[in-house]
Amino acid sequence: MAEELKKGNQFEGKEEYVKDVFTEIADYYDEMNEIMSMHMVQGWHKFMMRKAGDISGKRCLDVGTGTGEIAFHLARTAGPGSTVVGVDITPRMLELAARKEKDLSLPVSVDWRVGDALDLDIPDDSFDVVTSGYMLRNVTDIQKAVSEMHRVLAPGGKVIVAELSKPKNGFVRYFYDIYIARIKKKGRKYDQGKAIDGKQPAYDWLTSSIEGFPYGEDMVKIFRAAGFEDARFYVKSFGAVNIYVGSK
């Protein structure tokens, strides 16, 4: 059981498949995020910043940054004198993040880097806050990804991670399942039902990847195993998303 919690929803060729999925959907990723979250995604990110506390002038890292939305929140919150780095395995997503940044008036520039969440090219104890959003479902080793976050976090620093989960309330779960089915249909407007690497179309994966994925207390155990002894989680949007917080 412990091994299953570490691995989550895994299959052969997952790393390359996930990279190809996000390359394929990069141009409409933000639009679909708004639809999938029922326009609540920015509220989740603001909650993450509140849990980060006073990070003025701090060193900030966003792992699996995608098109940069959480990194932008970090830049605004940490402000002048801070360092903000966004790492992602998909160059196309980073290209879009950099393009979006040019239209924003951020107090600091974001340093965009291609990198692997399972093997960050970053020295130990380098950042005061580490964030991540909706990435852990997509890695091949959840425990290693969380352990890497702990490694690069400085003593006294904090990790804040947002991930999808499933509502436990049966009544809410009924409507959640209906909504997820509708999301797959909406996704067809973008992915055209095209198989990627001989596997699922992009939005079939993004909605089905929650199956077999640890969340809630099961995920907290993974954070604690990585060294976050005070790890805890906050339920948002009736259980559709959990925000995990811990300190080093």
Looking up tokens 């993450």, which residue turns up? 48
Assigned domain for 181 exists: no
State the CATH number of the domain containing residue 77: 3.40.50.150
Q: Give the range of the structural domain holding residue 72, as residue numbers without chain letter.
A: 2-168+210-247
Our CA angle for 144, 146, 151, nearest 5°, is 90
Extract the tokens encoding 192. 């055209």
Extract the tokens encoding 205. 């994966």
Assigned domain for 103 exists: yes
Assigned domain for 10 exists: yes
Q: Judge if pTM exceeds 0.75.
A: yes
At residue 3, the pLDDT reads 39
**Considering just the CA atoms, what is the radius of gyration of the chain in Å?**
17
**Whole-angstrom distance, CA of residue 215 vs CA of residue 219:** 5
Assigned domain for 137 exists: yes
Contact 62, 84 (CB under 8 A): yes
Looking up tokens 């104890």, which residue turns up? 125
Contact 150, 226 (CB under 8 A): yes
Return the half-sphere exposure (C-beta side, CA atoms, 13 A cut-off) of residue 88.
31
Say how many domains are in the chain: 1
Assigned domain for 136 exists: yes
Per-position pLDDT tens, the chain of length 248: 333 333 447 888 999 999 999 999 999 899 888 877 778 899 999 999 999 999 999 999 999 999 999 999 999 999 999 999 999 999 999 999 999 999 999 999 999 999 999 999 999 999 999 999 999 999 999 999 999 999 999 999 999 999 999 888 888 787 778 878 887 888 888 889 999 999 999 888 888 888 889 999 999 999 999 999 999 999 999 899 999 999 99
Assigned domain for 84 exists: yes
Assigned domain for 55 exists: yes
Assigned domain for 190 exists: no
Q: Who's near 166: CB < 8 A, 6+ residues apart?
A: 173, 176, 210, 215, 239, 240
At residue 4, the pLDDT reads 35
